[in-house]
Structure 1
């Protein structure tokens, strides 16, 4: 069956349950999805077997007055998009702005839990939604998950459970039940156990198998002094925490933990569990232990800040082994490139795990280093941190900094979604290389990247692609279904149309056009006195671009003065900045390809105002010969001309991939030539047996195909048989002056001498009715094409 793509649209904030056929509520939408039929004012949604129903909510607050929502079929609920394409991002200065959550599901003063799939065990996915004020008398204040649960770009706020799982409780009775949280704020939730997350440990006489992944999220200000834990892990679990801020949470000062991973009576933690924590900032939590662990589960910690946690009485620790014991040396624990208070025993880690990291992934001991030397103050949710509270890393002092620690292997993206780019090379500015920061936020070093593998593209294809993009922008602007993107599209169109005109008038033979800002890392600047940060826009308004040629050859080196040196020359290599195109343009005045050599350019981005920072990079390029383009041709042969036709196939063929003829270097020929300097680029791959031909010029084809003859000038085709009634198809290629062959194309000779006697074809006649049918089909196809 074809997939049913229908979305159920909710159009009332009231918590209705079938009494109003003119409105579709959230509760009714969930029932309609389960029944696969319309209910209340809601459509049936996707009725195909096994399809996940999609429910779309509007901006506003949906207040539950009839108790919790209990889906009985898998659903995906979408809040109003947080992307605003009317304005540019305050953080990146690019479209769109990422705004605060616009859609809220509210249980109203904790009168009920919000979602419960404990019995139905169906999968539930929430995007762009905040869950607020959920409450349960037992488990799962906001969500009691019996099936997979996923949440992205959302929040769980102000929820509580009397027993466990203030925000989420995972039942996990089915094998490999998953909780996946991304880009979400979890704040001010409470429970006696697992103020944020708890789970069942044993079911069906075996360990449960929960899979928990929390990434790029903020888990802050949860719990209280009576709570045993903030996140409580058990069963045979697979836990991954990556690029999160876990801060200002509270658990009991006498036995509470922020992250608890121990076997305790019936709450068994399987030895086959795994805990992987990467690039998290775990600070300023108040509890007896921020991380409490035992011999069970393998543990891998890398690039985390796990420090500055404790209690007012000084008894709290960031890392504590079970019952304050010393962990065994052979414990499965990898502890690499973390920042922790190690020497003062505030974080107790197996000694072997510490020593094994000494060579390449040494941990930073922050004992005796005040937190303000390494991190800013706690920054609440704002437009600059995509509404996820966090701490920014500081440069610190030499040897005691979270920034650029000299290794790679941290999370690919930081908490804000910024690519860390921790493995790029910088030939000219090795000291400015961006390496991993410790913690959830990456402070990028402003750098002009070294760019390899640049090569010239087909200029004709580039023009075609630019024109297609312009046409698509115009179509999108006119499309009412895409009106939310109109402002951004209009701004792009305003730049694209003059750019295309400028590009066409500026074409240089076999040139490379490169945007120097595309791969550069932006410069972070402070936002007033707020301790917030944003990126300074990488563009020619803010930065000068200085370019110079290095040379063509191999074995690029840097001399003692920092100057790049190449074994070769730069006599015909041009590297320049085109201010109109806003591109670096690289080409050879002679137009030759580089073969197995490289062309090297140096470019520098220099800040026009402010701190006047600058950075230089190396561009490595090759000039390749773009294959010529052969086009299909159609000619007619008639009895009036004795079934003979004279043609020049090159009229429709071109070398526009390398650039227009007008941009070719002086003295360079376009096509393959014979010894007399005559163009003979045409090679016929197939000539029908019933056809004669002769050419004005001829000679051997280029190297590699010299056994064949190539032709040029005017070519005459004639039928060997004057009574021949068939069309002729001739397949050919053309060679440019460097011996590169084009695509295959076809010359079609339409024989106008065909016998039109309806009864002579041997396949039955085409009567009037049949002719009308064919004409009708042609008209239908034409109308269909025009409509599309």
Structure 2
């Protein structure tokens, strides 16, 4: 039997390994050559698409995911794939470039491994052809971490000509050309498009012949109608940079038509060029260049622009609109462009009604005749004094009419590690009313263009005016803010240490595994050091019912301005910031919002401390008091930036409030196992508490008021009665050393103390016995139920004999029965 089990285990492991290998359906491209040869042992990108379409191996390409309608995953390596003709995916695919990261370096934005790098997988059309065409196959595609460049088409879609849902994440499209949609052209209905964290630069439309239709959409164009019905599509553009596209011959950069539902969030749209007489950077109007009787845009169309920086564009109109569709603009910098930043299609907008546009918290120029004016109807600014161009309280937009770009924004930053490898602008914090920083509200994008959380909804009780609020534009000024930490409750010390140990074992296993990619080892070793320190110093600093809080997780770091106007984050680490903590007492917060204030009384038993070795704030009490309903224990913590010489920069300092509850942690009852003799009425004496504890609360010896507090429940006479049996079979008799009522609210139940005498009427029952119990700690909190197993020696003997040995096992008996039957028949 033992040999069988070993063989079965080996089989299971081998089967699991086979399944794991079989589950990797990825098609790996292993050559940069643009070949299509079924007899080749190589797998080119073109052949990988063929294998995905056929659901079988093709040349050196695996079959991919052969399940019906499944997505095939195609993996590229770092390097350049030069195409001789366009790729035409005929099935749903996810095309993945090699992830641009370096595990040997820490990222300057996340302050963790790996560091982000520039894109390293490139598909190059060499100026010969379009790159990808799904207009006929209607195949949905996802592309990630790939640079697409030098695509060319004499008609539509220089890089991408799309006929179905497409998602581009971390994708750049560079230097592509076409008559319409130099980077992307959307064909047909429901051809949705999602663009995230990409660069779209150097793309241009052109006319091959003078009689060609107008060249529109240096970055994006689309079909408007299908069988006289508007093409519906969802367009979502987030954290992209649309830079230096177009020429003086172009008519538009982003051309919308049909019935789009469009959202632009935290993008930079800058330094693009179109025709100065009639060209638009963002065109969202219903006019038709082909048939003036048919609107190109449905009245059901929507455009929402949030937290974008749209500046330094050369155009007749940066944003061209009319009455068709809903346009909502908030937290955008839409200024510092040539001619008008906003233009109404049909003339001056001032006296127009129902233009369908709304603006809030934008940086715009609204003075009539001003450089880069955003021309909107008076109804959009109902309280605006159009004679003096002064702002009132109900107009939340900031006027840029008399402001220069250099006074509120940096120059356009070259892509680098500090910009998440995107060209973008940073706002300047001059402490002036025209600044784009902290406009005292929220509602902007949840992340800035670099992917940094803005955290604009935190309430600072100790310093309400220091609360971080929205900045206008695609990037956020990082300003040191110690956020309030609410709802902290002590948890089991045992569970906490177990979780650290589990993580430590996991990363140690990865380091020890010879199959681990060596590129990941710096990251894994960093994690090992972190969890080793957490275990060591949590044990060394353990207190009774303590909470252990990393204040950096609730705060925002500061930034320093570089010589070129860029910004470098001063990451929240103990090397960069000093942490100090002090107790404020016990009480409550009264009021809400800006009127909220702390009402707390001093408490000599409350301790709030910063542990530099643990890198945690510890909050605990010298007594064993539980927090009463409606009250909290309060501490104040302060972060102070360190100077290069280690001294403290008190001008860069912020304080936050910690709100802590102390609760009792349930005791721990562990399963027990004892042996009973088969065929007897044996009594055994056991101490169930020997394996149980109340360690979850932490060391009771650290209490000043009760250093000898017992672990388990004692009644009013001081008698220990913590054990309560919950499920006891009729064949088991339990006689306690002492008994009495359990603690409230279970006082109707009977609890035991001391050793228990357990007797089983065993007779000839060969099976094990089990019963359940729980324990109460000194505060009357009960544990989870656990099980006591009484191992029967008969069951043990039977298990051993069944594997071979000196007695007749079941297979031997069956063999003898078979032999007898055989002899009777013969």
**TM > 0.5 fold call:** yes
Tell me if 1:568 matches 2:596.
no
Q: Report how far residue 73 of structure 1 moved.
A: 0.6
Tell me the equivalent position of 1:82: 100
Give per-residue Cα distances to partners, 1:44-88, cap 9 Å, x unaligned. Answer: 1111111111111111110012x1001111111111111211101
Tell me the equivalent position of 1:283: 311
Contact 2:264 2:305 in 1 (8 A): yes
Could you say what secondary structure the match of 1:212 adopts?
Answer: strand
Please point out which of 185, 188, 194 is paired with 1:169.
185
Contact 2:437 2:470 in 1 (8 A): yes
Please point out which of 83, 86, 109 is paired with 1:68.
86
Q: Report how far residue 37 of structure 1 moved.
A: 1.3
Q: 1:361 to 1:745 in 2, by over 3 A?
A: farther
Give per-residue Cα distances to partners, 1:329-357, cap 9 Å, x unaligned. Answer: 32322211111101235111232223389
Give per-residue Cα distances to partners, 1:180-200, cap 9 Å, x unaligned. Answer: 100000000011200000000
Tell me the equivalent position of 1:119: 136
Q: Report how far residue 370 of structure 1 moved.
A: 1.3
Contact 1:476 1:482 in 2 (8 A): no
Tell me the equivalent position of 1:131: 148
Tell me if 1:349 matches 2:376.
yes
- Rounded to whole Å, the distance in 2 between the matches of 1:684 and 1:55 is 59
- Rounded to whole Å, the distance in 2 between the matches of 1:354 and 1:397 is 26
Q: Report how far residue 14 of structure 1 moved.
A: 0.8
Tell me the equivalent position of 1:450: 484
- Rounded to whole Å, the distance in 1 between the matches of 2:361 and 2:795 is 82
Give per-residue Cα distances to partners, 1:425-466, cap 9 Å, x unaligned. Answer: 112222221100000001122111110001111111111111
Tell me if 1:53 matches 2:84.
no
Tell me if 1:199 matches 2:217.
no
- Rounded to whole Å, the distance in 2 between the matches of 1:727 and 1:496 is 41
Tell me the equivalent position of 1:335: 359
Tell me the equivalent position of 1:425: 459
Gaps of 5+ in 2: 1-18, 206-214, 385-391, 800-807, 816-826
Q: 1:93 to 1:691 in 2, by over 3 A?
A: closer
- Rounded to whole Å, the distance in 1 between the matches of 2:478 and 2:117 is 23
Could you say what secondary structure the match of 2:245 adopts?
Answer: coil
Could you say what secondary structure the match of 1:657 adopts?
Answer: helix
- Rounded to whole Å, the distance in 1 between the matches of 2:30 and 2:812 is 54
Tell me the equivalent position of 2:112: 94
Tell me if 1:25 matches 2:44.
yes
Tell me the equivalent position of 1:156: 173
- Rounded to whole Å, the distance in 2 between the matches of 1:644 and 1:686 is 19
Tell me the equivalent position of 2:641: 607
Q: 1:361 to 1:629 in 2, by over 3 A?
A: farther
1:473-492 equivalent positions in 2, closer than 5 A: 473-479=507-513, 480-492=515-527
Contact 2:269 2:311 in 1 (8 A): yes
Q: 1:98 to 1:724 in 2, by over 3 A?
A: closer
Please point out which of 238, 249, 252 is paired with 1:215.
238
Q: Report how far residue 502 of structure 1 moved.
A: 2.3
Tell me if 1:321 matches 2:344.
yes
Tell me the equivalent position of 1:777: none
- Rounded to whole Å, the distance in 1 between the matches of 2:447 and 2:356 is 27
Tell me the equivalent position of 1:618: 657
Contact 2:678 2:766 in 1 (8 A): no
Contact 2:419 2:450 in 1 (8 A): yes
Contact 1:279 1:304 in 2 (8 A): yes
Tell me the equivalent position of 1:435: 469
- Rounded to whole Å, the distance in 1 between the matches of 2:700 and 2:772 is 25
Contact 2:186 2:221 in 1 (8 A): yes
Q: Report how far residue 115 of structure 1 moved.
A: 0.4
Q: Report how far residue 724 of structure 1 moved.
A: 5.7
- Rounded to whole Å, the distance in 2 between the matches of 1:339 and 1:594 is 48
- Rounded to whole Å, the distance in 1 between the matches of 2:227 and 2:43 is 40
Q: Report how far residue 754 of structure 1 moved.
A: 6.9
Q: 1:498 to 1:754 in 2, by over 3 A?
A: closer
- Rounded to whole Å, the distance in 2 between the matches of 1:356 and 1:271 is 28
Please point out which of 493, 498, 507 is paired with 1:464.
498
Tell me the equivalent position of 2:820: none
Tell me if 1:751 matches 2:792.
yes
Contact 1:550 1:564 in 2 (8 A): no
- Rounded to whole Å, the distance in 2 between the matches of 1:771 and 1:376 is 89
Tell me the equivalent position of 1:778: none
Q: 1:22 to 1:677 in 2, by over 3 A?
A: same
Tell me the equivalent position of 1:106: 124
Contact 2:700 2:707 in 1 (8 A): no
Q: Which segment drifts farther, 437-446 or 682-691?
A: 682-691
Tell me if 1:676 matches 2:717.
yes
Gaps of 5+ in 1: 311-315, 759-764, 773-788
Contact 2:410 2:566 in 1 (8 A): no
Q: 1:217 to 1:721 in 2, by over 3 A?
A: closer
- Rounded to whole Å, the distance in 2 between the matches of 1:720 and 1:115 is 80
Contact 2:442 2:470 in 1 (8 A): yes
Please point out which of 518, 528, 546 is paired with 1:493.
528
- Rounded to whole Å, the distance in 1 between the matches of 2:761 and 2:181 is 89
Tell me if 1:390 matches 2:424.
yes
Tell me the equivalent position of 1:546: 580
Q: 1:544 to 1:45 in 2, by over 3 A?
A: same
Contact 1:683 1:733 in 2 (8 A): yes
Count of residues paired in the alignment: 752
Please point out which of 519, 538, 541 is paired with 1:503.
538
- Rounded to whole Å, the distance in 1 between the matches of 2:765 and 2:118 is 76
Contact 2:253 2:282 in 1 (8 A): yes
Give per-residue Cα distances to partners, 1:598-640, cap 9 Å, x unaligned. Answer: 1000111112216541111110000111111111112122269
- Rounded to whole Å, the distance in 1 between the matches of 2:110 and 2:608 is 29
Q: Report how far residue 750 of structure 1 moved.
A: 2.6
- Rounded to whole Å, the distance in 2 between the matches of 1:770 and 1:151 is 69
Q: 1:754 to 1:348 in 2, by over 3 A?
A: closer
Please point out which of 728, 753, 778 is paired with 1:712.
753
1:357-368 equivalent positions in 2, closer than 5 A: 362-368=396-402
Q: Report how far residue 361 of structure 1 moved.
A: 6.5
Q: Report how far residue 90 of structure 1 moved.
A: 3.0
Could you say what secondary structure the match of 1:670 adopts?
Answer: coil
Q: Which segment drifts farther, 429-438 or 318-327?
A: 318-327
Q: 1:768 to 1:722 in 2, by over 3 A?
A: closer
Tell me the equivalent position of 2:322: 294
Tell me the equivalent position of 2:16: none
Contact 2:679 2:765 in 1 (8 A): no
Q: Report how far residue 718 of structure 1 moved.
A: 1.2
Q: Report how far residue 516 of structure 1 moved.
A: 1.5
Q: 1:516 to 1:147 in 2, by over 3 A?
A: same
Tell me the equivalent position of 2:247: 224
Could you say what secondary structure the match of 1:28 adopts?
Answer: helix
Could you say what secondary structure the match of 1:323 adopts?
Answer: coil
Contact 1:159 1:190 in 2 (8 A): yes
Give per-residue Cα distances to partners, 1:254-308, cap 9 Å, x unaligned. Answer: 0000000111234610000000100000000000000001111111111011111
Tell me the equivalent position of 1:691: 732
- Rounded to whole Å, the distance in 1 between the matches of 2:276 and 2:794 is 101
Tell me the equivalent position of 1:272: 300
Could you say what secondary structure the match of 1:125 adopts?
Answer: strand
- Rounded to whole Å, the distance in 1 between the matches of 2:545 and 2:431 is 49
